[in-house]
Amino acid sequence: MKLTTATITLAFVALTSAQYDVESKDFRLVLSSKDSTVNGQTLSACHTGAAIESLCLSGKPSTSKPDPIAAATFRFNTSSNVETPSDGDVPGILTYKLNATPPIPSSLEFFYDPITNYALPLLFPGQGADTQTLAFDSKNLLNKQGYVNYKTSPPTAGNTTAYYRWYACQTYFSGYQYVNLVWALGEGKPETPGCAKVDVKRVFI
Ligand SMILES: *[C@@H]1O[C@H](CO)[C@@H](O)[C@H](O)[C@H]1NC(C)=O
Ligand SMILES: *[C@@H]1O[C@H](CO)[C@@H](O)[C@H](O)[C@H]1NC(C)=O
């Protein structure tokens, strides 16, 4: 397809109008779980490629991180021009400033490997079309809102629901092995043995 300047300009306008430009105060992300080795753990940003980080559990040892590391500081960017759905929480993106000179504003995307049943959330520089929109509920729990119910045939749309499909799992990504926060695709548990169901809470600093 040949893209005209008008098409490109329109696409650019669409992209810029969805900018998440309103930054929240600093917070930590703290896990709660029935698994006592995971309960109370904070999330850190673990190096997993050039300017790419995964959300690893600060105190959980793994091949690529044998020792505990400091909890990361996160923010939640909402948009000054995206309307909040009347039946849902305010959508936004999870952001992090990668320590560099100058610091690199980064945001969360889901990385999908088609052969498994979970997505790996990763922090990448900037924000773009692949940045994952998320939300916090009234209890400060991180969730993903969906408005399509896939459990009916045909699927039914129109009822916004918050999903909390977070797990802590041993992961492998591009040679790096950590215990990371992951997102289960669908209702089941991630197929990797030993994953613990978790809730992810925002605690302002
Ligand atoms: C979040 O919003 C702030 C304020 O507009 C901006 O400086 C920062 O770059 C944004 N973060 C990302 C990852 O876009
Ligand atoms: C929306 O979904 C929730 C959760 O599945 C359900 O409890 C509620 O009854 C639904 N509401 C409507 C209007 O379908």
Per-residue pLDDT for 15 more than 90?
A: no
Query: Is the bond preceding 102 in cis, omega lying within 30 degrees of 0?
Result: yes
Residue 82 in contact with residue 19, Cβ under 8 Å?
Answer: no
Q: Which atom of ligand 2 is nearest to the CA of 159?
A: 1
Pocket test residue of 23, 73, 75, 106 for ligand 1, highest count of atoms within 8 A of CB: 23
Give the mean pLDDT of the chain. Answer: 92
Query: Is the bond preceding 154 in cis, omega lying within 30 degrees of 0?
Result: yes
Per-residue pLDDT reduced to its tens digit, 129-177: 999 999 999 999 999 999 999 999 999 998 899 999 999 999 999 999 9
Three-state SS for 117-132 is CEEEEEEEECCCCCEC
User: Residue 165 sits in which domain range?
Assistant: 5-204
Question: Domain with 47 in it: what CATH number?
Answer: 2.80.10
Rounded to an integer, what distance in angstroms lies between the CA atom of residue 191 and that of residue 75? 30
Number of structural domains the chain divides into: 1
Higher pLDDT, 5 or 106: 106
Rounded to 5, what percent of the chain is helix, strand, coil? 5, 45, 45
Q: What is the pLDDT of residue 6?
A: 46
- Overall pTM surpassing 0.85 (yes/no): yes
Q: What is the pLDDT of residue 9?
A: 44
